[in-house]
Amino acid sequence: MVRIRALRPNIEFVPRTITAYDDGRTYLLALNVSKPAELAFHIRDYRAADFERLWQIDQLCFAPGIAYTQMELSGFIMKRNAVALVAALSSDEAGGSSAGAVERIAGYVLAHPIRRKYARIITLDILPEARRLGLATSLMNACEERLRSLGCTEVYLETAVNNEPGIRLYRKLGYEILRRIPEYYSSHSLDAYQMGKYL
């Protein structure tokens, strides 16, 4: 999958360190030296006010024709039982006061349970600036935990055959390639791998 136009997020940072807290889902990132501060990530459920941001992230992550339209994304999120989790980054510029915290969504995962047994990962998107920090791994782990609690025992997804970061990530999370789907991304004449694992 190819990245498209550069909508820069408002928060610029150079990740230096990551620290896991007790709940295993929150991380500290050191900012670049010109603006020393700390940012914390946490995983939370999607809220309606997040929609525009999620759509923008999807536009950044996928090429036109592959990125979802607002109507498509909205349809996926609004589906009954949809699991939508965001990785939100909060910077506390007020020096420890929670009242001064600013939250920015850096990525999200969207999944659908099907007949309470199977689940499908609809999309997993991480802002380019926030990659290789374990965010996708944290989101996928949280999503799988939620799917398990809903009774799902198998999870499937599709990813472009040339999406090496995605394929490596999913393999690391225990997914196996099940089959190749010709022209899955028809607008790009691009095949996909269907991958899956038992939960």
Ligand X SMILES: CC(C)(COP(=O)(O)OP(=O)(O)OC[C@H]1O[C@@H](n2cnc3c(N)ncnc32)[C@H](O)[C@@H]1OP(=O)(O)O)[C@@H](O)C(=O)NCCC(=O)NCCS
Binding site for ligand X (CB under 6 A): 1, 61, 123-126, 131-137, 159, 163-166, 168-169, 172
Q: Which residue number, 34 or 132, has a Cβ lying nearer to ligand X?
A: 132
Q: Which residue number, 41 or 113, has a Cβ lying nearer to ligand X?
A: 41
Shortest approach of ligand X to residue 53 CB, angstroms?
14
List, as one string, the DSSP characters of 145-199: HHHHHTT--EEEEEEETT-HHHHHHHHHTT-EEEEEEEEEEGGGTEEEEEEEEE-
Shortest approach of ligand X to residue 165 CB, angstroms?
3
Give me the half-sphere count of Cα atoms (radius 13 Å) on the Cβ side of residue 190: 17
Shortest approach of ligand X to residue 138 CB, angstroms?
7
Helices (H) then strands (E): counts for the chain: 4, 8
Shortest approach of ligand X to residue 199 CB, angstroms?
18
Using the CB atoms, write b or e for 145-172: b if 16+ within 10 Å. Answer: ebbeeeebeebbbbbbbebeebbebbee
Inter-CA distances, 185 with 63, 97, 99, 135, Å:
11, 47, 44, 25
Q: Which residue number, 168 or 180, has a Cβ lying nearer to ligand X?
A: 168
Q: Which residue number, 79 or 131, has a Cβ lying nearer to ligand X?
A: 131
- What DSSP character marks residue 53? H
Q: Which residue number, 100 or 155, has a Cβ lying nearer to ligand X?
A: 155
Q: Give CA–CA dist 147/142, Å, rounded.
A: 9
Shortest approach of ligand X to residue 94 CB, angstroms?
28
